[in-house]
Structure 1
């Protein structure tokens, strides 16, 4: 099995003060050799200050402060750029609210070690499941992913998943710095770029647990953007930046 090298786990935050300490502790316990990057969008509840306290106590924890809430995609791209410039070989996305289980991180990394270029923590493959989700949320997620598969021809059952691991080489090849989409659409965008670039995307079953503390950042604006962009890609074939790279 391949040795992966340096791993950076990226956790964006906005008003996640109640969730951050425990999720950081679980991440560090589950993958102790990995580094953690907390990307805070100037949270009014002091999440950024708490992140600084965690980093002061642990040299495997880093903090990236941003001036305001600029979107999930922008937070990940900023962290990816930092991680790639610092020589990390693998970059992982996961939420701060506890919906993604840190104990499942080794499964994602194992998929990369076995040859995948992108490992997706999937709710909708055999073995995957969701816990404490209302019926309308499950209907929305399943429906969105069926739409993505049909209109884009993607062989992925959970292209909107936000728990995933990339090789740094994958992000370089797909041109991640040129991605402008957000939310659901950011995940679909990167999945599409990966598959259309001839790279290997593998889905790993996970258990997704609805947050207990705080408020979901999902909004109608994010969903509308995803539907519009995915429909456009279905017509044109690829995100615009990737078309220009070809």
Structure 2
């Protein structure tokens, strides 16, 4: 199976090399796409240097910090365009431990979406305060109940999608960021009838750098669930639209990335 790990970055220069080393230790045959939002600390430039050293590392430069959801959407489109069978989401700060990659790769053989769960046996959040556990756990129960999601960890950002899921979801209509983005993508996959499984992970706080979590991201997740519960089902793409998108993806990328959007040397 041809896989790619999508890693959005903004000021992650200290994490870049050690993270990639660990990724390739556990998944040597995968490719990695760094989607950098014009980091002022030089993360994008370092990613370019690493690409010159290792062709498994691909780099996409965006002109501004446009949000986590849009970074992943750009990465998903790249994965579709270049024929990957499955695409991972992974944070750049080591909160998503690369040692779980073999578990994901095994699970995705028999599922359409694999979610790294903190809330099933074997999962944990040892660095979190009781308040943070309450907010996250309560938010997941809230989303599961209102949307009918058969998932214990709806907001988890460590996950792997099969190509067919990404092709069927209307990626251009996804507007959420942060927690809401993860909930929306899982909800759309369920509406389309895809198989979702969870694999346990221990979620650790970032090793270096500053967290990008904000109150606005939490509020967005809360309000998205309410909007999704009381509106019609999400838009899905027809087979004709999927074929047309193959020829139009270059034009769709233009507003959010410099030309060329992907550095390939």
Q: TM-score range by the shorter chain?
A: over 0.9
> How far apart, CA to CA, are the structure 1 residues paired with 2:72 and 2:27?
20
Among 22, 37, 40, the alignment partner of 1:41 is 37
How big is the shift at 1:191?
A: 0.2
Judged with a 3 Å threshold, the aligned counterparts in structure 2 of structure 1 residues 57 and 244 are, in CA distance, closer, same or farther, namely closer
> Is the Cα contact below 8 Å between 2:35 and 2:61 reproduced in 1?
yes
> Is the Cα contact below 8 Å between 2:38 and 2:61 reproduced in 1?
yes
Matches within 5 A, 1:112-127: 112-113=108-109, 115-127=110-122
After the TM superposition, list the runs of 4 or more consecutive aligned residues in structure 1 that deviate by more than 4 angstroms.
Answer: 242-245
RMSD of aligned Cα (Å): 1.6
Matches within 5 A, 1:31-70: 31-70=27-66
List alignment gaps of at least 5 residues for structure 2.
240-265
> How far apart, CA to CA, are the structure 2 residues paired with 1:192 and 1:176?
13
Match of 2:208? 213
> How far apart, CA to CA, are the structure 2 residues paired with 1:178 and 1:238?
12
Among 91, 95, 99, the alignment partner of 1:95 is 91
How big is the shift at 1:236?
A: 1.9
List alignment gaps of at least 5 residues for structure 1.
none
Q: Is 1:166 aligned with 2:164?
A: no
> Is the Cα contact below 8 Å between 2:168 and 2:236 reproduced in 1?
no
Residue 19 of structure 1: SS of its match in structure 2?
Answer: helix
> Is the Cα contact below 8 Å between 2:4 and 2:33 reproduced in 1?
yes
Matches within 5 A, 1:1-246: 5-113=1-109, 115-236=110-231, 238-239=233-234, 241-242=235-236
> Is the Cα contact below 8 Å between 2:168 and 2:238 reproduced in 1?
no
The farther-off stretch of 131-140 and 76-85 is: 131-140
Match of 2:252? none
> Is the Cα contact below 8 Å between 1:12 and 1:75 reproduced in 2?
yes
Give the TM-score taking structure 1 as reference length: 0.93
